[in-house]
Structure 1
Amino acid sequence: MKTDILAFGAHPDDVELGCGGTIAKLISEGKTCVIVDLTKGELGTRGTDETRKEEATEAAKILGVSARENLGMKDGFLVNSEEYQMEIVKMIRKYRPEIVLANAIDDRHPDHAKAAKLVSDACFLAGLRKIETTHEGARQEVWRPKQIFHYIQWKDIKPEFVIDISEHLEKKLEACMAFKTQFYDPSSTEPVTPIATKDFYESLTYRAQDLGRLSGVAYAEGFTIEKLLALKNFEGIVL
């Protein structure tokens, strides 16, 4: 069950939009990744929770993740409760990731910041031995990820580091557009939402391009951190 990266999203499509390029890159390098969606996105203006489920499955195939799960929490009403924390603790102990990717720490949709704190708190709790959980009847061992990184979503948050996704932008866009009910489609008769515009679709490229410009690569995705990063050496840094 162990995976290298466990990526959480408040809604199906959050992970693809925020860090789809990074996931595609890491998988291409031999890392394993699992996505866990907290809600079904049932309050979304366009589509249904069923179409969202189908789209999430297709996006997962495009990215090549090992598994994708949905915890069925209440869309629009995420709370940092013991009940929700424990569900996430079980996922962390099930997949035992080295790194967790989570929603933006502040964003337009209130669920995003709530999910960021919820996941962060659950990561800490997952390492406490006196909190007992089971999976398929067996007691789970404690596990605490080494790092939690928060991807950037609607708001223009200044990243604390970026990942070069120059060779993986197209796969990110393909995975995002697997959510065809949610994004720009000139033939759609559903209501237009802020993320269903041509401008939003184009922003996926120009925002990645701008972060690339600032960091010396073609395209990049940005992240914020919870604790100071220590580098063993300068290998892997784009100079």
Structure 2
Amino acid sequence: MKVDILAFGVHPDDVELGCSGTLIASAAAGKKVAVIDLTGGELGTRGTIETRKTEAADAAKIMRLSARENLFMADGFFQNDETNIRKVITVIRKYKPEIVLCNAPEDRHPDHGRSSKLVADAAFLSGLRKIETSINDIQQEHWRPSYVFHYIQDRYLKPDFVFDISAYFEEKIKSILCYKTQFNTTDTSEPETYISNPDFLETIKGRALMFGKRIGVKYAEGYLSAKTPGVSNFDAFIQQVT
């Protein structure tokens, strides 16, 4: 299956927090989108790997994904090494995306930055035909995405560009709330965490409002890009006035 956009999250819920509005908007526009979770989030303070699996499946429906897979690397301890790079290359070649989205190069959780480099390295190496990978003993063709964009999640990073998600912000929040053990919960049977307090969602809304204000819309998601995106005409900058 070829998709237009392949989004990577090191933990289930990273994609929902960082770029789900973009994925929902893109799917609504007819694009095929898929998600790869690198780990099962087994070190999360609340919930279990089983509950995360169910929550991720529920969120996938809201995000209108064509596919979602988990590579089950070691949460907290995975490395940017040949074994894991090959795993990421294999799914990039499987889905042949034009655009890859992944975690920010640096963030509150150390896994985020490490996974960012892992995915970016794999996206480049995936284009080298002498690196051989296969699925079910069938040799894969080399493939390099046109762009790798890094979504901004927790720490404030100045975006290189922002994506208008105004029409889909409520669906973004619904996708986040699929993680019932993690967010917007007053359940005291498990420890309170940085993200479990209902007030945490207000920070998500505040950031989306701030990024939206930069381009004159209500809500937006921010991205970093090592490669400068280009345009062939100024139509890309024209906002529809209503």
- Do both proteins adopt the same fold according to a TM-score greater than 0.5, normalized to the shorter chain? yes
Distance 2:47 2:187 in 1: 14
Q: Which amino acid aligns with 2:175?
A: A
* 143-152 or 179-188, larger mean C-alpha shift: 179-188
> 1:183–1:195: 8 Å Cα contact kept in structure 2?
yes
CA distance in 2, matches of 1:238, 1:106: 32
Match of 1:89 in 2: 89
SS in 2 for 1:162: strand
Q: Compared with structure 1, are the counterparts of its residues 238 and 50 closer, same or farther at alpha carbon in structure 2 (3 Å cutoff)?
A: farther
Residue 41 of structure 1 aligns to a residue whose secondary structure is coil
Q: TM-score scaled by structure 2?
A: 0.97
Question: How far apart in 1 are the matches of 2:103 and 2:160?
Answer: 15
Match of 1:71 in 2: 71
- Matched to 1:176, the amino acid is I
Letter in 1 for 2:145: P
Q: How far apart in 2 are the matches of 1:20 and 1:188?
A: 28
Residue 112 of structure 1 corresponds to 112
Q: Which amino acid aligns with 1:160?
A: D
Give 1:232 deviation, angstroms: 1.4
Instruction: Kindly provide the amino acid, as one letter, of the partner of residue 22 in structure 1.
Output: T
Distance in 2 separating the partners of 1:133 and 1:5: 21
CA distance in 1, matches of 2:237, 2:65: 25
User: The residue matched to 1:168 in structure 2 has which SS?
Assistant: helix
Q: Equivalences for 1:68-217 in 2 at 5 Å?
A: 68-217=68-217
For residues 24 and 98 of structure 2, the distance between their equivalents in structure 1, rounded to whole angstroms, comes to 17
Report the identity percentage.
53
Q: For 2:169, give the aligned amino acid.
A: L
**What is the one-letter code of the residue matched to 1:35?**
V
**Which portions of structure 1, spanning 4 or more consecutive aligned residues, are displaced by more than 3 angstroms?**
none
Shift of 1:137: 1.8
Q: Is the 8 A contact 1:98 1:146 kept in 2?
A: yes
Structure 1: runs of 5 or more not aligned: none
Distance 2:209 2:238 in 1: 16
| 2:48 corresponding residue in structure 1 | 48
CA-atom RMSD in angstroms: 0.9
Cα offset, 1:238, TM superposition: 4.6
Distance in 2 (alpha carbons) for counterparts of 1:206 and 1:24: 19
Q: Tell whether the 8 Å contact from 1:216 to 1:238 is kept in structure 2 after alignment.
A: no
Match of 2:57, SS state, is: helix
Deviations, residues 72-116 of structure 1 (Å, cap 9, x unaligned): 000001211000000000000000000000001110100000000
Provide the aligned length of Structure 1 versus Structure 2: 239
- Please show how residues 7-22 of structure 1 align to structure 2 within 5 Å: 7-22=7-22
Q: Tell me, what secondary structure is at the counterpart of 1:163?
A: strand
- C-alpha separation between the residues in 1 aligned to 2:144 and 2:188? 44
Shift of residue 189, structure 1, vs aligned partner: 2.3
